Chain A
């Protein structure tokens, strides 16, 4: 990195207030040419808001933005792109039924000819992709691409528009470890060509691996900007959450009871392939069984079939000794199954319902929420919500606030509160901390361990090996729908688990 007198982007004293929240409080920072600048902070710290202001999606209340030393007023993404600023959102903005090339040129005008010469455009795209070492096939349909490939398309989309500052909002949240490595390679090759990258994240490891400088945000304020050489993970974590965090969860000796969940020879398949392939395992009360594996190896389908959302094609599921293989979701819920789904916004929550409504999503028809006359008891629903908000420290303005106003961590706490309050005998937690910040992650880990200590059986499905190792008593590793191996968690078998995750058996 060569320091240059004129920063590519400079924001000065940016303040943005949303109803009830000060999202950005007098933030100033600068991004140099060719720099990878990480914006680090917990969910709700104001990272995305700040970048949305730079990209013209949100308008600032006060403050100044300078690009290459010139003050600018960016009112829309189109203007941002004119100033050579691009942004890749956490949720991609691609049309699945169009090809890569079509998506890349989407919304661009004018063209030199009246007709689109797709071949020429595809050639241009390939040239750009080659220049930055991005593997991409312009004629492929978006719907056929993996998440990592789609992200590449988003990056190419920005590059095609000639940006020299690229904002990546939580780019690794949806990626597998391999795809993350690939992305980091890409980012580095981009900066070698002079681009500046702003990298929004809350993952310390990634920051240390890829960033040149790091700005830490907390509660809407800029806490510090550090170069990567002069800081370390502990300090950054401290800056992020304003207190020391322990990366290990305290876990008393396991008191294992009877098997709660027994899975025998379970197979789940659709028309095209077998996602879960003759799996057998069991989970006892008082223990956490971790299912490790790279994303997409059948873990999701396993969890969905266990909770009644996906019909197994063969095999048996026993809950407390009873065959529940073909039971409905509601029946399973009644006999003591709690489920924290991987896709919390799509499965676990109704985003435009209130906190109170989401907290009764399963038990709404039961007493005390519904009276014997068949009407809702609003007072009881409200009381329930207030109690759970208090007990689980859900940060929300009121219990009548809609879920999409809550940060990701607090959304997850709503699910957690709802599921655990029903005192489940078996709790299936799939990626329970994906996309959450340190504070929320630690809290959720604690709750899971508390439940285990209280005698619940917990099936933890996670692609984050750290999480599996920190929480599990036993570990099963899944690969292509099969369980490759099972071991007691001593915390020292990382290499062996890694081999199993890659599909290499012990023998």
Chain B
């Protein structure tokens, strides 16, 4: 132990054998971890079946309908993907902020601001040439959501304001702004409805699986998740974000620009959620109305948590959410099960997945001791 061995002593053979064993162990761990959510869903559906029985419904028929609702037809599959798309965006948003040690509960508001920005450009700058307009719509979405998230970032770095409180409050303000705009300044030129005009055709995202409504946004979501993973694990900025998230003092000690990085991380986080809003407008609805998001931003928190805030993982947890939402909608319509009961089953599934996830984390922590 005492000699600073300058001779290149190669790692001893036993060590490398251990190394191999640990790697296969890691592989098994990874497999087990990825199976966990499926087990959790199965467990939740089982408990849900008991509930359905208690209330006098046939669980087998109910789940058959649900299965059909998810995989039954081209249209159903596309609806699952459509519902998964926005929560992957918001899930990635939550994951980025969490990597930097910040709880972004404001993805919902950032999603709204992104939708507002995208709609504004799409409606009022509609004369711009095609592809440029689409790019600008997406950019407006990113900036809208990003700047909305920079507010809590600045407050955190300036006066150490708790980001959880600030982001939650900003959600309400964002919702208020959106409601005001669609009933006032941005209200559609004709008609009574509290909604904006349609954005220009050139601002719409192309559909990719006709005749379904599925649009290119689903691919953008996957690309975003991949890009963010590369950013976090393969670039200096990502290294700074992760270091600050793990140990802010060590980041300061290492000379990292802590405040600047937190602001950038929030910009990227809010930007991802805002991009989700823009994609929803440009891909699906074509216009803004007051309640454009049924809670995608909040779902994003769960989507990110389930996969331990791994941006790549949000693709899978996003699909799980999409399937759950789409499947249970069909279950409600076709099997005549009350929506309250379906919401209970949905909520239970999320709770189970999170519980199994926590169990996983505890398992890995125990190995550390």
Asked if B212 is at the interface of the complex by the 8 Å CB criterion, the answer is no
Complex-state Cα separation, A269 to B249, whole angstroms: 20
Q: Which of A126-134, A139-147, A359-367, A487-495 contacts its partner?
A: A359-367
A135 within 8 A of partner (CB): no
Query: In residues 339-353 of chain A, which contact B (Cβ within 8 Å)?
Result: 339, 341, 346-353
User: Across the interface, do A329 and B252 meet the contact criterion of CB distance under 8 Å?
Assistant: yes
Q: Which residues of B contact A347 (CB under 8 A)?
A: 249-250, 253
* Residues in chain B near residue A393, CB distance under 8 A: 1, 3-5
- Judge if B247 is at the interface, Cβ distance under 8 Å: yes
| Min C-beta distance of B239 to chain A, whole Å | 5
Verify if A122 is at the interface (C-beta below 8 Å from B): no
A376 within 8 A of B: yes
CB closest residue in chain A, given B23? A398
| B 348-369 binary contact with A (CB < 8 Å = 1; else 0) | 0000000000000000000111
Contacts of B9 in A (CB 8 A): 390
- Residues of B in contact (CB 8 Å), total 37
A229-257 contacts to B (CB < 8 Å):
241
Check A439/B1 contact, CB under 8 A, given A19-B22, A58-B369, A361-B243: yes
Judge whether B246 and A350 touch: CB under 8 Å: yes
- Residues of A with C-beta under 8 A to B255: 308, 328-333, 362
Contacts of B236 in A (CB 8 A): 364-365, 370, 374, 376
Q: How far in angstroms is the closest Cβ of chain B from A366?
A: 9
A24 smallest CB distance to B (angstroms)? 13
Given the interface pairs A370-B236, A390-B9, A404-B368, the reply to whether A439 lies near B2 with Cβ below 8 Å is: yes
- Distance of A491 Cα from B15 Cα, bound (Å): 43
B239 with A376: CB separation less than 8 A: yes
B235 interfacial contact with A, CB 8 Å: yes
Per-residue B-contact encoding for A81-120, CB less than 8 Å = 1, 0 else: 0000000000000000000000000000000000000000
Q: B256: which A residues are within 8 A, CB to CB?
A: 330
**Number of A interface residues in the complex (CB < 8 A):** 53
Most buried by A among B2, B6, B236: B2
Inter-subunit contact A353/B243 (CB<8 Å): yes
Most buried by A among B15, B25, B255, B367: B255
Minimum CB–CB distance from B157 to chain A (whole Å) comes to 16
B336 within 8 A of A: no
Cα A162 to Cα B254 with chains together (Å): 46
Inter-chain contacts of B127 with A (CB < 8 A): none
Once the chains are docked, how many angstroms separate the CA of A393 from the CA of B4?
A: 7
List residues of chain A with CB within 8 A of the CB of B246. 350-353
> Is A185 an interface residue when CB atoms closer than 8 A count as contact?
no
Query: Is there contact, CB below 8 Å, between B18 and A329?
Result: no
A172 in contact (CB, < 8 A): no
**Do residues A20 and B18 form an inter-chain contact, with CB atoms below 8 A?**
yes
Interface residues of A in 354-394 (CB under 8 A from B): 357, 361-362, 364-365, 370, 374-376, 378, 390-393
| Distance between Cα atoms of A45 and B247 in the complex (Å) | 28
Residues of B contacting A: mostly: helix
Closest CB in chain B relative to A355 CB, distance in Å: 13
Contacting A at CB under 8 A, from B181-239, are 230, 233-236, 239
Interface 1/0 per residue, B240-267 and A, CB below 8 Å: 1011001101111111110000000000
A395–B235 CA distance with the chains assembled, in angstroms: 28
Chain A residues with CB under 8 A of B294: none
Task: Determine if A443 and B368 form an interchain contact, defined as CB atoms under 8 angstroms apart.
Answer: no
A346 contacts which chain B residues (CB < 8 A)? 247, 249-250
Q: Is the CB of A446 within 8 A of B4?
A: yes
Q: How far is the CB of B364 from chain A (nearest CB, A)?
A: 10
Name the residue on A nearest B254 (C-beta). Answer: A361
A418 closest partner in B (C-beta): B254
Q: How far is the CA of A309 from the CA of B9 in the complex (A)?
A: 38
What separation, in Å, do the CA atoms of A328 and B247 have in the docked complex? 19
CA distance A450 to B246 in the complex (A): 33
Query: A361–B250 contact, CB under 8 A?
Result: yes
Please report the C-alpha to C-alpha distance between residue A378 and residue B19 in the assembled complex, in whole angstroms: 19
For A352, list chain B residues within 8 Å (CB).
246
- Chain A residue nearest to B369 in the complex (CB): A58
Tell me whether A397 and B1 are in contact in the complex, defined as CB-CB below 8 angstroms, given that A346-B249, A361-B250, A404-B368 are known contacts: no
Known: A397-B22, A440-B1, A443-B1. 15 other contacts (CB 8 A): A57-B369, A329-B254, A333-B255, A347-B249, A348-B250, A349-B247, A350-B250, A350-B251, A362-B255, A364-B239, A378-B234, A390-B9, A392-B4, A393-B3, A398-B22
Residue positions of A touching B, CB distance < 8 A: 18-20, 52, 57-58, 241, 307-309, 328-333, 339, 341, 346-353, 357, 361-362, 364-365, 370, 374-376, 378, 390-393, 395, 397-398, 402, 404-405, 439-440, 442-443, 446-447, 450
Residues of chain B touching chain A, judged by Cβ–Cβ distance below 8 Å, are 1-6, 8-9, 15, 18-19, 21-22, 25, 230, 233-236, 239-240, 242-243, 246-247, 249-257, 367-369
Q: What are 8 A-to-B residue pairs whose CB atoms are below 8 Å?
A: A332-B255, A347-B249, A347-B250, A349-B247, A350-B250, A364-B236, A391-B6, A398-B22
